[in-house]
Chains A and B, each alone.
Chain A
Amino acid sequence: MITRPRRTEAAAKPSGRVPVDLVATGLRVAYERDVEILRGVEITAAARRISLVIGPNGAGKSTFLKAVAGLAPVTGGLVTLGGVDITRWRPRDLLAHGVALVPQNGTLFPAMTVRENLQMGGWLRRREKAWLGESIEAVVNRFNLPRHLVDRRAGDLSGGQQKLVEIMRSMIMTPTTLLLDEPTAGLSPKMASQVYEQIAALPGDLGVTVLLVDQNVRSSLAISDDVYVLAMGLNNDRGTARDITERLGEITAGWLRQGVSGAVKS
């Protein structure tokens, strides 16, 4: 059964919140009439697991994540969180219900210090200063951020550090679900592996359900549990990370063929 709760800040307190599945059923997105980017995508991000969405360029991976986060115009289908309909919810309401988003482009506040950025992460509970302080402290410790960086301007940090701070900021509200879009885009391989290391630990350490969209297929497969392959706005394949890793050559070859012929068969 699907229920529609109130979407207010009152829901922001995560007391007793347990990780639940995030399910997209028949999700459709069209920015313009008749030009559908997603044509009925079915993806389940199971609780406390890392679900990875991969696919060729233009498959609709990022659009899918945006649609779940309420940033793309959903024209059909449902997104539910533990049975609750959260379709078309704005990021603010999603966050209040435990779903955090880290978009692909940098979203830090460059002129603020890292600490202020983390404080902004707790915006919905900004009046609870004591709680916020503790939460920031916990996140800084959890992610082993060097102390001297905490009072540095966020804009002065390296790209990898900025991405880590963004993920840290999304953890301040102790979400149950984290949506990550291309977290290592533009990072050096060394920085990328640090970021993946942190992501990999999220389900185990913090009980977070992770839905990851990534171009960096090999590295992201290494930390994922379930994998969905999208092509031309539709589900193309799915399996466990091990399963997909084994068939990866075949799958990417398929993407190449598709790029040539433009045909889709699922």
Chain B
Amino acid sequence: MVKNIIEPVCANRRKFLAGTALVLATSWSGLRPAAAEDKAPVVLGFATGLSGAQAQYGRDNVKIGELFAEQMNSQGGIDGRKVSVVSGDTQDQPDIAISLARRLIREDGATALFGHGGSGLTLALSQALKSTKVPLLLSYIWGNSNTGPSLPSVYRIGPFNAYVATLMAKYLKQSPYKNIVILAEDTAYGTDFAKDLSGKVDAGLKVETIPFQAKIQDLSPVLGKLASGTQPDAIIVAGNYQIIYSLQNQIPAAGLKSQIIGAWDYPTTPEFWETAGKNGVGVIYATFTGPSVKLTATGEAFRASYAAKFGRDPLFYEYFLWDCLNALRKAVTDSKSVDPAVLTETLAKVSFEGTTGSIHFNQEEGAWNQALSGTLFMKQYTEVKQTDAAAKVVAEIAP
């Protein structure tokens, strides 16, 4: 309920500037034709959460966009067009995200939108922007319904719930765990994931889903009840907010001996060890980076430039964002246009070398506009403050 105030301030400033522009309309309009002689630029729009719980990811996304724009511009732009980045804060609120995205398109001339946000928020955004035909390229949004024939301008590179659930069900089949609990947050992500996974596991496994409110702070009563009955062998954590970092402590404190399995690689985030402490040892998590993933030349180049800018290697989904940016580049160079409708059509046909392999978008039932890639790695931490690279690979599940 508490909202960021920076954005409204910016909005006011924008209004103020718009007013100034009106007053100076004549002198300004005289300047415009000179700029119009150049080719229309490629504007990368980032409508993403820049405040609130997931701000770090949002900010890193924007920085990757800036890195991409720098590189493109130093090579003479895309199709001779200058590349720039515009961004704004969605405050994790769908209504704000929609008005922000519209502004990025209308006032800043965004050619395509990228971003990191909840799957529900992104779906609302996609539907609201449908008529603009501006491509929306998703790199790290897991909702099944985020892409589909009804959303022709939305493309996704990277895993999504049904895909991850299929791979994880394969893992569970070969794992020693027979009695499994999924702690699923009540978002499109958590609910879909739990549904997909329970639908895909073998009949021999017992799977129970325990939903929880995404931003809850304390699950101890529920965990306590779980501990007092027949304890599950494993607890799969499918959430996004504070609670998933507290659970490494709350689960054992409730007297549960179950194996903790992260449904995504939140244990690789910088705050994991600070929040989990020694209870982080033994945690298993799903990720798409592993020793057998070979980066392409594109991927290596990205990794090197990213490391130079951020001082660390990219997280796995940041490779997918880079692929999304390259997908747009390919669409612009193939079509020699920045018209949204043309780009949306072209994207369906592009094929290029991504960071981890060749990329094209499928148009199949259940995987529409979807680049399918990625081997699922189940990794386990064996000592305190271990890095993702050093974690033990428990299983490697190919698609």
The answer to whether A and B touch in the complex, with CB atoms under 8 Å apart, is no
Residues of B within 8 A of A (CB): none
